[in-house]
A = this chain, B = another copy of it.
Amino acid sequence: MLASRAVQDPSGTRELLAGYLEECRSLVLEELRRIIPAERHHAPFLYQLMLDYPLREAKGLRPALCIATCRALGGTLEAALRPATVLELYHNAFLIHDDIEDESLLRRGSPTLHRAHGIPVAINVGDAMFALSLRPLLDNIGAVGLGPALRILQAVARMTQESVEGQALELDWIRRGAWTLSDEDYVRMVEQKTCWYSFITPMVVGAIAARQDGERIEQLASFARSLGIAFQIQDDVLNLRGEVGTYGKEIGGDLWEGKRTLMLLHMMRHVSSEDRAEAERILILPRPSSETAPEPAALDAQLDRLVEEGELTVVGRQRLREARNAAPRRAEKTPEQVRFLLSLMERHDSIGHSERVARDWLQDAQRRFDVCRGWLPPSIHRDLLEGLTSYVLLRAK
């Protein structure tokens, strides 16, 4: 399909996208199995876990962007496949480490890796995925030639630097308890943390693999940037509205984590100082921990002994037991508090504001794509790239 089908019917966009993404995803998973030495006897557990996130239900947006860009520019699938697979590997490594850093409980509908296997294993699996990403890019010299292979390595170096800087920026906001942040602050963070590895680099690398260079790469990159910003804002809106199962994250997940989204920042800028103080107090609380800490049985035994010895009444024992079971070990966010945050957002139309900002960025992306369309010959691959702009809106429905 990647080579032949053309799209006349705009209502077929969703179908085209689904088919194209699925095909890229299966090619990349196949390549991933070649890169990950699953049979290495040294560390079978390590390599099984490296496939865990990639094999979970996912869109496979990044590999599709890379492959479509390369092919739209006349490059071969072979030239794009290895870099596309490496980008998918990076993406999943970032997810694993991000999930630890954000204390996320679910990823794509299943427990996060660190919850299933512990933080030490999850850190190391992410590191292993970074480690394995270098060799395929070096082996790629044969498929794309020395010059492009080195430029792809440079692009990946830039990408990883942008990603960790974006992550550092967000962690720094958390550390400082910073809430007076503008839309521009948010956009800068998302550009670094998400756009570079999810949109800009996949397209730039695809273009390099097709031996493209110069100004046209800049034009593609600026389209990718705007599309990525729109995508992330829309993603945060979906996260808030989504349900477990259909979206793969827990309900209101970002609010539980206190993640700084465009919506939340908008709300914090517009509420009364009283409400902001209360919201800050809530946001700083941790989410409820998934495991209820087991109480030492020793306490029960001691209460029984005190009753036997006449130092405690049966009523007193009952009340101490109840208090123990009711009291959280540390203060945590409650559902009421999260609902309070949601009500503040509704009152100030923060979600509506986010959707308008997302739409502006999407229109910006469409304008930037029109520039590229001037020199990109018609093909299903160009259709895919263009179709992504409507996909951002389609998936909201």
Task: Report the bound CA distance from A132 to B168 in whole Å.
Answer: 14
One digit per residue, 1 when the CB lies within 8 angstroms of any chain B CB and 0 when it does not, for chain A 308-344 equals 0011110110011001000101100000000000000
**Contact of A316 with B320 in the complex, beta carbons under 8 Å:** no
Interface of A (DSSP majority class): helix
Binds B, one of A115-123, A353-361, A368-376: A115-123
Contact of A131 among B163, B175, B327 (CB under 8 A): B163
**Contact of B316 with A298 in the complex, beta carbons under 8 Å:** no
Q: Which residue of B lies closest to A102 (CB)?
A: B120
Contact of A172 among B43, B128, B319 (CB under 8 A): B43
**Contact of A323 with B311 in the complex, beta carbons under 8 Å:** no
One digit per residue, 1 when the CB lies within 8 angstroms of any chain B CB and 0 when it does not, for chain A 180-212 equals 000000000000100000000000000000000
Binds B, one of A24-32, A58-66, A150-158: A150-158
Q: A130: CB under 8 A from chain B?
A: yes
**Contact of A157 with B130 in the complex, beta carbons under 8 Å:** no
Q: Specify how many copies of this chain sit in the oligomer.
A: 2
- Chain A count of residues within 8 A CB distance of the other chain: 64
**Contact of B160 with A134 in the complex, beta carbons under 8 Å:** yes
Task: Report the bound CA distance from A153 to B154 in whole Å.
Answer: 13
Q: Min CB distance, A159 to chain B, in Å?
A: 9
**Contact of A121 with B175 in the complex, beta carbons under 8 Å:** yes
A110 contacts across to B, CB distance below 8 A? none
Contact of A138 among B101, B150, B313 (CB under 8 A): B150
Q: Which residue of B lies closest to A149 (CB)?
A: B150
Say yes or no: A311-B315 contact (C-beta < 8 A), given A40-B165, A124-B171, A171-B121.
Answer: yes
Say yes or no: A101-B130 contact (C-beta < 8 A), given A45-B168, A168-B46, A311-B313.
Answer: no
Central interface residue in A128, A298, A310, by most chain B CB within 10 Å:
A128
Say yes or no: A101-B123 contact (C-beta < 8 A), given A138-B153, A320-B302.
Answer: yes
Task: Report the bound CA distance from A315 to B311 in whole Å.
Answer: 7
Task: Report the bound CA distance from A316 to B165 in whole Å.
Answer: 55
Residues of A whose CB lies within 8 Å of any CB of B are: 40, 42-43, 45-46, 97, 100-102, 117-121, 123-128, 130-132, 134-135, 138, 141, 146, 150, 153-154, 156-157, 160-161, 163-165, 167-169, 171-172, 174-175, 192, 293, 296, 298-299, 302, 306, 310-313, 315-316, 319-320, 323, 327, 329-330
14 additional contacts (CB under 8 A) given A46-B165, A101-B120: A43-B165, A45-B175, A46-B172, A100-B119, A100-B120, A119-B119, A120-B171, A121-B168, A128-B168, A131-B157, A138-B153, A298-B327, A302-B320, A306-B316
